[in-house]
Amino acid sequence: QALASALVHREVRVRGQEKTFANLDVHAASDSRHALCKFVYGRMFDWLVERINISMVKSTGGKAVNTNGGQHYIGILDIFGFEIFKHNSFEQLCINFTNEMLQQHFNNNTFKLEEEIYVKEGIQWDAIDFIDNQPMIDLITGKRIGILPLLDEELKLPGGSDSKYLSRLLDKQMKNVAMKKTKSRNAFRVQHFAGIVEYDVLGFLEKNRDTLTEDLVD
């Protein structure tokens, strides 16, 4: 009953006053439902990953040890799962961002940390050239000017829209060589590690709308 009420009402909390409730219109109630679904799905996914990790290792004196019958296992890190289609939307941006993070993790552990060890131990070695994609991650997550932070901010602005978001994004990133305009009025291009991807912003705000009211959190 509490959940059913929270999906169609919003509690108005004013300090020093008794709690009051405002009715949500159909659109706002629909947003609340979608946000709750995304929240539950995210929590379920995190739980699943945690259970898988627990089933594979256990902690002994602060050190993780194998528990699958004493047998060794091989972990595979797939870092080339970029999605580049004829039409790319918010889903492809999230997937490609994840792969950028995996690529950075791979670079850090395979190249950067190893180089530090070689220098520390005085080992003679030939430097390996690799592409550092940190600038790409900054483009996507940079505070106040990144692709995702600007999208979150657009949702909070009165009259926010996909087209206004695109305009602000291109204005903030106009000097970034990894961000490019397109012939389409509703798209932008990003020079990812794996290649150039053109994203259609129509629907970006709606797909990113996931703010929960305090009532639903409770």
Pairing between strand 187-191 and 196-200?
antiparallel
What pLDDT is stored for residue 79 in this prediction? 60
What pLDDT is stored for residue 215 in this prediction? 84
State whether residue 87 is helix, strand or coil: coil
What pLDDT is stored for residue 33 in this prediction? 92
Condensed to tens digits (0 to 9), the pLDDT of residues 126-180 reads: 877 777 888 999 999 999 899 999 999 999 999 999 999 999 999 999 888 888 8
What pLDDT is stored for residue 70 in this prediction? 47
Average pLDDT over residues 184-205: 93
* CB atoms inside a 10 Å sphere around CB 161: 14
CA distances to 111, 204, 208 from 161, in Å: 42, 9, 12
Whether 52 has a pLDDT exceeding 60, the answer reads yes
State the DSSP string of 108-167: IIIIIHHHHHHHHHT---PPPP----HHHHHHHH-TTTSHHHHHHHHHHSTT--HHHHHH
Condensed to tens digits (0 to 9), the pLDDT of residues 54-110 reads: 877 765 555 555 555 545 566 666 666 789 999 999 999 999 999 999 888 888 888
What pLDDT is stored for residue 40 in this prediction? 94
The answer to whether 99 touches 77, Cβ cutoff 8 Å, is no
Mean pLDDT of the chain: 86
Residue type, 168: R
Output b/e per residue, 19-38; b: 16+ Cβ within 10 A.
Answer: eeeeebeeeeeebbeebbee
How many Å apart are CA 30 and CA 25, to the nearest integer? 9
CA distances to 4, 6, 37 from 9, in Å: 9, 5, 17
How many Å apart are CA 215 and CA 100, to the nearest integer? 35
Which one is predicted more confidently, 50 or 129? Answer: 50
pTM listed for this prediction: 0.74
Average pLDDT over residues 5-34: 87
Degrees, nearest 5: CA angle 217-155-144: 105
Q: What are 181's strand-pairing partners?
A: 188
Q: How confident is the model at residue 28 (pLDDT cuts 50, 70, 90)?
A: confident
Report the half-sphere exposure of 144 (CA within 13 A, side-chain side): 0
State whether residue 73 is helix, strand or coil: coil
How is residue 57 annotated by DSSP?
Answer: E
